Amino acid sequence: MNKPTISAVDLFCGVGGLTHGLAKAGIDVRAGVDIEGDCRFAYESNNSAKFIEGDVASFSSSDLVGYFTPQSFRLLAGCAPCQPFSSYSNRYRKSTANVKHATRSRLDAESENWKLLRSFLRLVLEVKPELVTMENVVPLQAHSEFTDFVNGLTAAGYCVTHHIVRCADYGVPQKRRRLVLFASKYGPVAMTKSELSRRSTVEEWIGKLPKIEAGEIYRKDPLHRSGGLTEKNLKRIRASLPGGTWRDWDEDLLSDCHKESKGKSFSPVYGRMDWEKAPTITTQFFTYGTGRFGHPVQDRAISLREGALLQTFPRNYKFVKKSEEITFAKLGRWIGNAVPVNLGQAIGQSLVEHLRDSKRLS
């Protein structure tokens, strides 16, 4: 008989950041589920797993159980879409509290995401895997729906643990904190200890890429492309210091929002990152004005390839077919929404170590 392994299904898989990381930890990811069918090429081209297009809310256990390897430890993994719970979105919600339409739109988005979280729990209860993991934004833990999720797992016999993780401790060159939840039939799962002697840097990940200008595409790598800048934004980034803010600018470069009291709290926008650590990579990382996404030394926003590398995707990770049009909005969403690969690997290692410690894996 073959030795037991961990086989997994990745819900909300996107282009495969979590799947790729789990696989690097030795977990056999058999399938990924996502509602966005355009993710299929990236997911299947880079991972030995089948992409299943569909709404997780419409799936039942019978749709998933056949993908797990017989006599393996089964892992149901995923990261329900999380933007409405992020720190940025919480600030946005406060700033639009008096705008009826904006508030309603945000509440609708939250309602949809609660539905996905409940669907995740429902599938766990139906499939009854031995292991569960979920990665998400830190503010999620403050919501009652997260408590309901944990209580539902506990009532079903799982030992649930959750950790606030600094991604930089696991080789992700970002100032990024994430919530990682584990549930196991065999006891508590600890987050693996970082074995890094030092943290990786932005310079190590993107410092050797060919130089490009704002709006330019590097011909040997179509993803190494940067968005264009207006003449005023070009002046702004030239006046920006690595790790600095728009407060470094002369008065004539400021916009009206910078002068308003509410705008003064958004100091990272229109900023350059420094060579040590990037900010959290969001779905808008390719836009200079939405965060500290200016290149450390070049007068442009970081490219799509640089964003992917800062999410610790391998340089050769394929996101689109050669003949397919590359759009900033689509690729930015895919890359920004992904679980950083190195964090996914740490999550996988935590589960492998858990089973070894409980004498269930040799």
Q: Is 167 a catalytic residue?
A: no
Among residues 13, 79, 82, 167, the one annotated as catalytic is 82
3-state helix, strand, coil in the chain (%, to 5): 40, 15, 45
**Alpha helices, DSSP H, located in the chain:** 17-24, 40-46, 61-64, 87-95, 100-127, 144-155, 202-206, 231-238, 256-259, 304-310, 328-337, 341-357
Report d(CA 90, CA 70) in Å as an integer: 43
Report d(CA 351, CA 357) in Å as an integer: 10
Report d(CA 45, CA 49) in Å as an integer: 9
Which residues share a beta bridge with 360?
none
Which residue type, as a one-letter code, is found at position 197?
A: S
3 state SS of 161: strand
54-92 CB burial, b ≥16 within 10 A, e <16: eebeebeeebbeebbeeebbbbbbbbbbbbbbbeebeee
3 state SS of 191: coil
Q: Are 170 and 349 in contact (CB under 8 A)?
A: no
Burial class (CB in 10 A: 0-12, 13-18, 19+), 157: exposed
Which residues share a beta bridge with 50?
31
Report d(CA 50, CA 9) in Å as an integer: 10
Q: Which residues are catalytic?
A: 82
